[in-house]
A and B are shown apart, each in its own frame.
Chain A
């Protein structure tokens, strides 16, 4: 059985255990977030030994070459000596400068990072509750237009961090953030390309950022945004989005409700099905899918079959831990 050496201690790895599970079981203090290999909060480096390639999923080539890996998905075959990443990947304190409820369950938190963070609208940042508990939140703000970083935090039933954000945090508080991460952002260079954006719940946050980024960069191709919820209570930013449709003729916004008794101002049905019925041929389009993991997975397949190239389908599944 391989061992994990960390911070001067040696831990024996049980069969099938990930490095993260092993370290936390023994009380070692290491950060983590989604435990699904996406948020990268559990990024560590193998100083001795080579982490399996599967544990380096999503890392840039330079990090892979330096034997960085994600502890939550690392099941090594050999003993590794591991350490937390150095300063270049560390956290920055940020002060909360504003908090605004956008609907009953979604809080917009505006953050001023103490050190400038370079990000693109739609990427995510990791927010830390205490030393080690991280959650990823997508950024809805546009660095060229908004002085502060805006994230949308949806209150998740029994959610440790989201309930803390809603109920305990106040403007003036300082918390640690890390990032940005992810590929969910506008790529300039194809101003006439069709953009299809489909989101559920707070998945609207990155999409709102991407839409404004595209428009600000002069995108002239069709931009179709579909936001889905079960009931009207789950929608938000509806006024701002309608304003954008009036200001830009190539931008269309459709609110979709999947529950029953849907009034005529909304589209009725599941958001990705409505979207794909409205835009049945996605050849050459770029597709952004954000929110409920089942919607993202189903929509990815449908979008691909509708002609979108695999590399043009950007998936950001919002997992609840």
Chain B
């Protein structure tokens, strides 16, 4: 019986393991850290969890419009392809740290990549 990507990755437990690692990488990445100068770290962490759930092929409530609207103020402040690439790198690095097999990393990366135009408002 074939499993979904989300199940193969380990479901919600995998997301929980990944969130702290991913969010730490993002906050320490000088290319993008300034976009996360948030007042509320816990609210941010919840958004990271939602993003990772989506990237892992899990159940989520994001639509293309949500991604567009959610990032519009950042796009106004200069959010561009290089920043999106940086986030993709951190996502891959997180999964490598968690010893996820390369084919599954590629699948998750493809899902995340599919949001590029919505995120960047194109």
A-side residues, CB < 8 A to B, are 297, 300-301, 304-305, 307, 309-310
Which residues does chain A contribute within 8 Å of B41, judged by CB atoms? 300-301, 304, 310
Which residues does chain B contribute within 8 Å of A304, judged by CB atoms? 20, 23-24, 27, 41
CB distance from A2 to the nearest CB of B (A): 23
Q: Does B42 contact A (CB under 8 A)?
A: yes
Interface of B is mostly: helix
What are 20 inter-chain pairs, A to B, with CB distance below 8 A? Answer: A297-B39, A300-B41, A301-B27, A301-B41, A304-B20, A304-B23, A304-B24, A304-B27, A304-B41, A305-B24, A305-B27, A305-B28, A307-B24, A309-B20, A310-B19, A310-B20, A310-B23, A310-B41, A310-B42, A310-B45
* CA A304 to CA B20, docked complex, whole Å: 8
B-side residues, CB < 8 A to A, are 19-20, 23-24, 27-28, 39, 41-42, 45
Interface of A is mostly: helix
Which residues does chain B contribute within 8 Å of A305, judged by CB atoms? 24, 27-28
Which residues does chain A contribute within 8 Å of B27, judged by CB atoms? 301, 304-305
Which residues does chain A contribute within 8 Å of B23, judged by CB atoms? 304, 310
Which residues does chain B contribute within 8 Å of A301, judged by CB atoms? 27, 41
CB distance from B36 to the nearest CB of A (A): 10
Instruction: Give me the 4 closest cross-chain CB pairs, A-B, nearest first.
Output: A310-B45, A309-B20, A300-B41, A305-B24
* CA A309 to CA B16, docked complex, whole Å: 11
A-B contacts besides A304-B24, A304-B41, 18 pairs, CB < 8 Å: A297-B39, A300-B41, A301-B27, A301-B41, A304-B20, A304-B23, A304-B27, A305-B24, A305-B27, A305-B28, A307-B24, A309-B20, A310-B19, A310-B20, A310-B23, A310-B41, A310-B42, A310-B45
Of all chain A residues, the one with the shortest Cβ separation from B49 is: A310
* CA A301 to CA B38, docked complex, whole Å: 10
* CA A300 to CA B39, docked complex, whole Å: 11
Which residues does chain B contribute within 8 Å of A309, judged by CB atoms? 20
Which residues does chain A contribute within 8 Å of B45, judged by CB atoms? 310
* CA A309 to CA B27, docked complex, whole Å: 14
Which residues does chain B contribute within 8 Å of A310, judged by CB atoms? 19-20, 23, 41-42, 45
Which residues does chain A contribute within 8 Å of B39, judged by CB atoms? 297
* CA A302 to CA B22, docked complex, whole Å: 15
* CA A297 to CA B19, docked complex, whole Å: 20
Of all chain B residues, the one with the shortest Cβ separation from A300 is: B41
CB distance from B66 to the nearest CB of A (A): 16
Which residues does chain B contribute within 8 Å of A297, judged by CB atoms? 39
CB distance from A72 to the nearest CB of B (A): 16
Which among B20, B23, B28 has the greatest number of chain A C-beta atoms within 10 A? Answer: B20
Of all chain B residues, the one with the shortest Cβ separation from A306 is: B24
CB distance from B70 to the nearest CB of A (A): 16
Of all chain B residues, the one with the shortest Cβ separation from A307 is: B24
* CA A301 to CA B41, docked complex, whole Å: 8
Of all chain A residues, the one with the shortest Cβ separation from B19 is: A310
Which residues does chain B contribute within 8 Å of A300, judged by CB atoms? 41
* CA A300 to CA B45, docked complex, whole Å: 13
* CA A305 to CA B39, docked complex, whole Å: 16
CB distance from A50 to the nearest CB of B (A): 18
* CA A307 to CA B28, docked complex, whole Å: 12
CB distance from A294 to the nearest CB of B (A): 11
* CA A304 to CA B23, docked complex, whole Å: 9
* CA A310 to CA B28, docked complex, whole Å: 15
